[in-house]
Amino acid sequence: MADAALAPILDALQTVLGGERPVALHAPQFEGHEWDYLKDCLDTGWVSTAGGYVERFEQALCEATGIGQAIAVVNGTAALHLACRLAGVAPGDEVLLPSLTFVATANAVSYCGAMPHLVEVSPDTLGVDPAALAAHLEDIAEMRDGVCHNRRSGRPLRALIVMHTFGHPVELDAVAAVCERYRITLIEDAAEALGSRYQERHVGHWGRLGILSFNGNKILTTGGGGAILTNDAQLADRARHLSTTARQPQGWNFFHDELGYNYRLPNINAALGCAQLEQLPERLAAKRALAGRYQAAFRDCPGARMIEEPADSRSNYWLNALCLDSADEALRDALLAACEARGIQARPLWTPMHRLPMYRDCPRMALGVTEDLARRIVCLPSSAHLGVTA
């Protein structure tokens, strides 16, 4: 039965991928000035957290996104952690976030001593569902002295983190309206969404803070790396201070005025990022071309469909995701096994946060859509070079 159901799906995959084997889920590409910039770091000795490439990389990020301030840090998780601290998240708070996300989103909240509060996603965007969130807050939220609280737990609801899953933007205007109504700080987890736009603007403009990731599997990479995005210059200054161990500039003295973190991105990683950013337009075009090939191949495929960009959005299509018609984990796993046997690297969605041992007792709303999607979705090879035809 599974073989018959999988045959048209595997045939459609073959149409897109051809005979190339093995096929990675997402491989990095280095086709620009990477070697030149890295050699410059080695030749000059500027390989650590000081050096001109860090500022150059941050400025290039501002130009690429239209954001006023970018602060480069060691990885996306560090960026999320600092964003939570900058948003005022403190021990005893709750932070709303989707259960359908990579674990770093929830971990960053926990690093602050706060409690993740898990919310539902939309089947159209794979990100936070603003209507479901509004209904949930109507049920559980109350204002006390201008601060939104969870009336069931008594804890402040300090922030909402939305995650732009696979590069597909959430409904940011609707989400921002909910946050404004309840005076909740909006943070955009755009780790997967460099180059994605909502209503013609780059993601990151709706939240008070946003973050990016430049891990080796992202659309651009610095090896490890991330960034905090904000249009608030004071927040940016504080982010730079906290990410450099909160050291005060006092000549040769080592004086630190609060708890800080050694989170700044090294110059050698920033140099790699500068070279990669120069290739962003071509990379985005290749990713969209690959998404178009997948969509054409699966348009009439029985049993499955491709996840496509939501309305009012232009996705970077960081990962192409296949949604099976049947919410059958056994069928999903059979497809994953068949891909592996053919040298095709495919992956399921992340295990939802409410299924993980450290987060299973967190406050949460009904998560039926999250559970359903976790059983249906398979991530397909999405390296940009697959979208480039000879």
Domain end, chosen from 216, 244, 277, is at 277
Both tokens of 9, joined, read 């799906």
Cβ neighbours of 201 (radius 10 Å): 14
Same domain, 168 and 147: yes
- Indicate the residue among 221, 242, 277 that finishes a domain: 277
Query: Average model confidence (pLDDT) for the chain?
Result: 96
- Taking each helix axis as running N to C, give the angle between helix 172-182 and helix 130-140, from 0 to 180 degrees, rounded to the nearest 10: 10
Residues 249 and 268 in one domain: yes
Reported as a single tens digit per residue, the pLDDT across 247-257 is 998 888 899 99
Note whether 155 and 302 are same-domain residues. Answer: no
Q: Say what the pLDDT of residue 153 is.
A: 98
- pLDDT, one tens digit per residue, over 330-385 is 999 999 999 999 999 999 999 999 999 999 999 999 999 999 999 999 999 999 99
**CATH number of domain containing 98:** 3.40.640.10
Residues in the chain: 390
Q: Does residue 283 share a domain with residue 273?
A: no
Of 256, 277, 298, which residue sits at a domain end? 277
**78 and 20 share one domain:** no
Pair (179, 193) in one structural domain: yes
Work out how many domains the chain is built from and give that number: 2
Sign of the CA dihedral running 280, 282, 283, 288:
positive
Range of the domain at 285: 2-26+279-387
Q: Are residues 22 and 40 in the same domain?
A: no
Whether residue 390 has pLDDT greater than 60: no
85-112 average pLDDT score: 98
136 and 271 share one domain = yes
The verdict on 244 and 304 lying in the same domain is no
Is there a single domain that holds both residue 301 and residue 273? no
Angle at 377 between CA 300 and CA 16, to 5 degrees: 45
